[in-house]
Structure 1
Amino acid sequence: MHPVNGVFFQTRDYGSIGRRFLAAIIDIMILVVVFFILSATGQLFSENWAVNLLIFVFIVFTTVYLTWIKKSPLRTLGYRLAGIKIVTLQNKPPSLVTMFFRLLLMLFYPFQFPIDTLWLINDPHRQSLRDKLTCTYVIREDTIPVGERQIICVNYCLLGFNFLFKEVK
């Protein structure tokens, strides 16, 4: 079995906490605006099925926006304005499954935020815990890799849990 290689970047080329925060705020504002538009539309209907349909539309929009659009070259408005993008350890766009897993991990974000922030600040590749779990980097949009190294598995112990993450050596 041949070792798999991944790329690495200069420290300044990884998405900083400020850029990530800016992107998150902008994307949340977009979702809030869409929610209010759909809520206002829902006020026009008294039937439950219509309200349920609008809720379904919001869930689908949110999922598509935070998975397919975020991973595409188009990216979300927040990611575009912050000048960042998501790539795999091989510097390729992540799969939809990976992006959906990242989205599901957001459900735990209120509880994980302090840990994620500390992890992000102290990690040499500026990967959050979500990035580690999904084998992704958040990098600046105009970045090119500095080099290539072998991907290895590293064991971390966090709050009594053991995690095995893939990292570029």
Structure 2
Amino acid sequence: MHDQYIFDIYVTEHGEFSLRKVRSSFLIKRSWMKLISDGVALPLPSRVENFHNIPGKIINQPVINLLPGDIVLEGYELESFKGKKGVRVFPWIYRISGFDRYEKFFSFERNWNSLKTQMRHQGMQRDLLAGKKTLAAMVRVAHAMRQGMILTESSAEIEKEKEHI
């Protein structure tokens, strides 16, 4: 059975960020979403093998209001297909969203290596930089946000962001 819904991020009339289920334009085979509230301890990225290793509540509600410090991790498995060489591909889409230490909203779903490079340049501890899987990268971003690091889609935007804080 396919899940026909994904979570969409939107701003309420009161200026709060919320998540709501919306119909997906692509076939989703499986999905999961976890809410990590402020104050919940995060594991080392290198110890995250699957979404069960990530603390937090599994989200099933149709609408969720995000509070400062909340972090949401999502994973969507799309319908598999055969690639050019006849090998079956099982694509996943991942996203991490929430509020950083400065209560500024963030959302990332790609460029994990670029984000890791930015964290390394900003002095992230070595044990938090370990781990190669996408889930480890998402947990690493959560650690960075809690530490007050400034991450952007492109590293050229970092200096511009620092000027506004």
TM-score (norm 1): 0.27
Query: Which has the higher Rg, Structure 1 or Structure 2?
Result: 1
TM-score (norm 2): 0.27
**Higher RCO (C-alpha 8 Å, min separation 6):** 1
Q: Could you say which structure has the higher strand fraction?
A: 2
Q: Could you say which structure has the higher helix fraction?
A: 1
